[in-house]
Each structure stands twice: as C-alpha cells, then as structure tokens.
C-alpha cells in the first residue's frame, strides 16, 4: 500500500469526509463541448436484442465472430463480453477537434481487449486513461489494453490511494460465498507493473482538466445525509492492521459540459455517493443542470438498498435527460429509477454508445 494518508492516530480522523483542496474550492472553468459520446466497453450486462433509439446506438446482433469448429464454416457469432466490472470509452468533440480517453478497464485481463477488437475500436487513438478507483473490477484490463497498443506510453490519471490494500471481512455467520471463507483480500494494483506495460502514471487528488474539456472530479465532497459509504466489511490495510474503509477516498468521476444542455457525469462505482458526485460536479463547474448520468451507482445489496429511496428522489429532482445506471447499481435500484424517470432511463448493455450533442447553432 502507498501510505498516502500518513499514519493517523485514529480511524475516525482518517475516514472523515474532507474538503477537496485547491481548485475544488472555487468553480473550475470547464469548456463547453459540441458533442460527447460514451461507449460502454465493459459492464455486467450484454443484451444483443436491445433496439437503438435516438442518441442510443446498440451493438449489432452479429458483433464479434470467433472460431467454432462445431459449426459449418468453422465460426460463430460470439457477441460481447459481460462481467462484473466497468469500462467506458469517452470521446468529446468541439468543432473539428476531438479527443478520446478510456475510463476504467473492467475486471478481467482480456474482456476490454476482446470487446474493443469485436467493436472495431482503435485503442491506438486514445489520448489517456482515467481510473475511477483502485478496486480490481475497474482495473483488471490493463494487460489486454497494453497488448492491443503495444508498450507505447499512455498517460494514466488516478488518485494516489488506488494502491491501497483492501479486503472484505464479513461478520461470523454472514457469508457472501467468499472462496476463502469470511475474508477476501482484493487484488491490489502495482505501479511498477503498470509502468512496465507502458503507462505513464499521474497521481491527482485535486480536480484535473484533460485536453478536450473533460474534468476529473478529484476527491468528492460528502455532503448528503444518506450516502454513508461502504459497510464495515470493507477494510483497508494501514501499515499495521486492517481498519474500516468507508469512503474509498480514491473514487473519482468524469464530467463534461455540453454547450447549452448541461453536465454529463460518468461514474465508475459511485462509492462517494452518486448524488454527492453530481452535486460536487455542479459545485466545481458552476453548471446547475444535469444532462446525463452514466455508470455504476452502487445501490446493490442489503447495505445500500435503504439508500435507494433518497437517491432516486434526489436524482428525480435533478431531472437528467439521460440516466444509464450500470455495473453495481442493482436490480432494485434499476426498477425504481426506471419507474421514477421513465423518459430518461435507458437499459445498460456492453457495446452501447450514447451520443449527446449541443443544440445546432441557428436552429429554429
């Protein structure tokens, strides 16, 4: 673990919400863009029969072919890989200039790479990678990405706490089908391994503005009364012992400002609380309208289901035009969000591209 927090005397002092420093104090001037597209590269769901709609382009049914000797012709339609993980390709365009980055890399070493190949995505055109946080289901696909790109340098922006060792420890008698019993230590990222694969690691606690007009939130202020973070089962190693890690302080999101329409917010797991994240993005940018919210909302399971009600109420008040809950959102929250925001809610699926454009200049 990179002991970025020093060696605190008390758990409470370390885990208390903190105000982001520097640029987080005052609004960040976030350039307006003409268009943003978000393509889901890895998620928990792939449905090849979902229909496209305005601004929502589904992967074709026949996407991805692979060798299969049991079929005449020796191949079959493979579709796209779905797994408990998340990755999104984000492209922003202003005028004739565009830039593309990757947000998270999924869970397994090859799912992202396989999906990129089957979708025809050229990862050689990436300007950078951003990691939402250090959990393995968002950081597992770097090997496959490096295989597709070769060992060429690529900026990788992340929070310094992504190197933290973490584990799940459940109370006696309360099991989660963990393979080692009641404890599961999560795989921990290695900076040296990432650098050997050609990634230029850039650590940032504070908000960062990337080329093209994409903002990384930095550490998110925790301001809601109902988003309490991870339960006691989620622990981190502080150098001398395991302690409760409620905040996952490395949790960050992406924010884009579409001209004349508002903010597009892309989350990984939303460990900071998806409402906290949106409010933080609005405070940072001074933009008061939410156009779209895409990614994991972490509302699944007994510890988080009580938060569904107030979360949905807050998001309903924000009135996004598009909401795509994925990954760790959970089916109860999905149903509740679909019922509360029927005109905005869209079913997530690997390979789907969401396109959000600024109003045409001079349009009637």
Residue 119 has pLDDT above 70, yes or no: yes
pLDDT band, residue 68 (cuts 50/70/90): very high
Residue 242 has pLDDT above 90, yes or no: yes
How high is the pLDDT of residue 27?
79
Q: Is 112 exposed, middle or buried (0-12, 13-18, 19+ CB in 10 A)?
A: buried
**Mean pLDDT score across all residues of the chain:** 90
Mean pLDDT across the stretch 212-229? 96
Domains, the chain:
33-62+76-357 (3.60.15.10)
How high is the pLDDT of residue 227?
97
Spatial separation of the C-alpha atoms in residues 93 and 359, rounded to whole Å: 14
Residue 263 has pLDDT above 80, yes or no: yes
- The rounded percent of the chain whose pLDDT value lies above 70 is 88
pLDDT band, residue 177 (cuts 50/70/90): low
Residue 226 has pLDDT above 60, yes or no: yes
Give the model confidence (pLDDT) of 197-217 as tens digits: 999 999 999 999 997 999 999
How high is the pLDDT of residue 340?
98
pLDDT band, residue 178 (cuts 50/70/90): low
How high is the pLDDT of residue 1?
36
Four-CA torsion 98, 344, 353, 288, nearest 10 degrees = 20
pLDDT band, residue 145 (cuts 50/70/90): very high
How high is the pLDDT of residue 182?
65
Start-end of H helices in the chain: 11-15, 111-119, 136-139, 142-149, 191-196, 274-285, 308-318, 331-340
Place of tokens 């510890």: 303
> What DSSP string runs through 95-137?
TTEEEEEEE---SSTTHHHHHHHHHT--GGG--EEE-S-S-HH
Spatial separation of the C-alpha atoms in residues 22 and 352, rounded to whole Å: 36
Q: Is 0.75 topped by the overall pTM?
A: yes
How high is the pLDDT of residue 191?
97
Helices (H) and strands (E) in the chain, counts: 8, 21
Mean pLDDT across the stretch 170-195? 74
Spatial separation of the C-alpha atoms in residues 313 and 29, rounded to whole Å: 29
Spatial separation of the C-alpha atoms in residues 168 and 184, rounded to whole Å: 5
Beta-ladder partners of 236: 166, 243
Higher local confidence (pLDDT), 342 or 176:
342
Give the model confidence (pLDDT) of 21-62 as tens digits: 444 456 788 999 999 999 999 999 999 999 999 999 999 888
pLDDT band, residue 159 (cuts 50/70/90): very high
Ranges 15-19, 23-27, 115-119, most confident: 115-119
Spatial separation of the C-alpha atoms in residues 266 and 274, rounded to whole Å: 10
């Amino acid at each position: 673990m990179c002991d970025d927090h020093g060696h605190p005397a008390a758990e409470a002092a370390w885990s208390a919400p903190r105000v982001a420093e520097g640029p987080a104090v005052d609004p960040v001037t976030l350039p307006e863009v003409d268009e943003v597209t978000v393509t889901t590269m890895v998620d928990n769901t792939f449905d090849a029969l979902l229909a496209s709609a305005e601004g929502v382009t589904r992967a074709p049914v026949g996407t991805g072919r692979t060798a299969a000797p049991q079929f005449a012709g020796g191949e079959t339609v493979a579709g796209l890989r779905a797994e408990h993980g998340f990755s999104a390709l984000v492209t922003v365009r202003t005028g004739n200039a565009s830039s593309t980055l990757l947000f998270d890399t999924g869970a397994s070493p090859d799912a992202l790479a396989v999906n990129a190949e089957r979708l025809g995505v050229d990862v050689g055109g990436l300007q950078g990678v951003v990691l939402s946080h250090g959990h393995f289901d968002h950081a597992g696909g770097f090997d496959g990405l490096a295989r597709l790109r070769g060992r060429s340098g690529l900026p990788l922006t992340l929070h310094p706490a992504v190197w933290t060792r973490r584990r799940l420890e459940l109370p006696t008698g309360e099991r989660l089908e963990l393979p080692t019993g009641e404890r599961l230590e999560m795989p921990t990222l290695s900076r040296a391994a990432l650098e050997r694969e050609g990634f230029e690691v850039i650590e940032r606690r504070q908000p960062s503005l990337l080329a093209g007009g994409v903002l990384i939130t930095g550490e998110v202020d925790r301001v809601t009364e109902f988003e309490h973070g991870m339960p006691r089962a989620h622990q981190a190693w502080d150098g001398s012992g395991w302690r409760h890690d409620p905040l996952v302080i490395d949790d960050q999101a992406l924010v884009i400002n579409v001209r004349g329409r508002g903010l597009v917010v892309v989350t990984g797991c939303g460990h900071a609380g998806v409402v906290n994240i949106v409010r933080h993005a609005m405070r940072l940018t001074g933009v008061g309208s939410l156009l779209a919210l895409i990614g994991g909302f972490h509302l699944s399971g007994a510890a988080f289901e009580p938060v569904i009600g107030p979360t949905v109420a807050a998001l309903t008040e924000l009135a996004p035009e598009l909401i795509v809950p994925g990954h760790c959102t959970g089916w109860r929250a999905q149903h509740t969000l679909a019922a509360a925001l029927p005109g905005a809610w869209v079913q997530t699926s690997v390979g789907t591209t969401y396109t959000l454009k600024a109003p045409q200049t001079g349009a009637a």
